[in-house]
Amino acid sequence: MERHFSPIVISGMTLLSLLFLAKIRFSTIFAIIGILLIFGFAIITFGPKYRNLRMQIYAKYSLFHKVFHKSGNYHGNADYQIRQSLISLASGKLIGVSPKRGTGKHYFLPEAKTDYIFSIIGEEFGFLGAFGVMSLYLFLFYRVFRDSTKKENLYLKLIGFGLGMNIFFNAMVNIGVAMSAFPSTGVTLPFISYGGTSLIVNSFSVGLLLNISAKKRQIIT
């Protein structure tokens, strides 16, 4: 099995959101955040060299670095994926170059059908298409939050919110990577990226969410 740090990060984010929903004391939540930060720092520092190198590349070529340092220069091949992803997004402009006419997925952008599928959406369908995809995930977040907070059964509330947040965080990380806001990673875009396992797991999650949403309000026993 391939070593993959990203699911740990997403699971940690989901856990924190569940702690907030469960109204755990803030002191406990901050303690857990501190432990997770120390754990993450240790993995990046003492883990495989490729992971440390990836973080260095992100620190140098990330979107935030470009904004705050007012630098638009790219050098060498270290930032190749970041550069090609941003080029694909920019090429789409408002309405895109139209489906099947994008060049990034054929010639320039590696992993275009998985990690960087959002960049291809931006290229072929433009800002409107990319914004539409983001809006769907935001709508999912809204529905999950609304339905979960209405449940009086704490178990159903936490299960539903956790499943929904896992899908939402996966989407936000994938989109953030495409926009150079997060380090390059292997997180797929739910229901859109190529990959059977991801589609099956997310489909099961949505099925459970629909089942939880359909249940009548229950009193905690």
pLDDT of residue 51: 63
Quick check: 148 pLDDT over 90? no
> What is the pLDDT averaged over residues 203-216?
85
Cα 109 to chain center, whole Å?
A: 19
pLDDT of residue 127: 93
**Are the C-beta atoms of residues 78 and 61 closer than 8 Å to each other?**
yes
> What is the pLDDT averaged over residues 128-152?
90
Is residue 90 assigned to a domain?
A: no
Is residue 210 assigned to a domain?
A: yes
Please report, in angstroms and rounded to a whole number, the separation of the first and last CA atoms in the chain. 41
Confidence of residue 198 (pLDDT cuts 50, 70, 90): confident
Confidence of residue 221 (pLDDT cuts 50, 70, 90): very low
pLDDT of residue 59: 62
Is residue 88 assigned to a domain?
A: no
Confidence of residue 219 (pLDDT cuts 50, 70, 90): very low
Is 0.85 surpassed by the pTM of this model?
no
pLDDT digits (tens, 9 = 90+) for 163-179: 999 999 999 999 998 88
Which residues touch 151 (CB under 8 Å, ≥6 apart)? 157, 160, 212, 215, 217, 218
pLDDT digits (tens, 9 = 90+) for 65-95: 554 445 555 555 667 778 888 888 888 889 8
Name the percent of the chain lying above pLDDT 90: 25
Is residue 17 assigned to a domain?
A: yes
The mean of the pLDDT values for the chain is 81
Is residue 12 assigned to a domain?
A: yes
Considering its fold, how many domains does the chain have in total?
Answer: 1
Could you tell me the residue range of the domain that residue 207 belongs to?
6-70+137-214
pLDDT of residue 67: 45
Distance CA 162, CA 59 (A): 30
Is residue 31 assigned to a domain?
A: yes
pLDDT of residue 9: 82
Is residue 102 assigned to a domain?
A: no
Q: Which residue has the higher pLDDT, 186 or 175?
A: 175
110, 114, 115, 199, 204 from 194: Cα distances, Å: 13, 5, 9, 8, 17
Is residue 85 assigned to a domain?
A: no
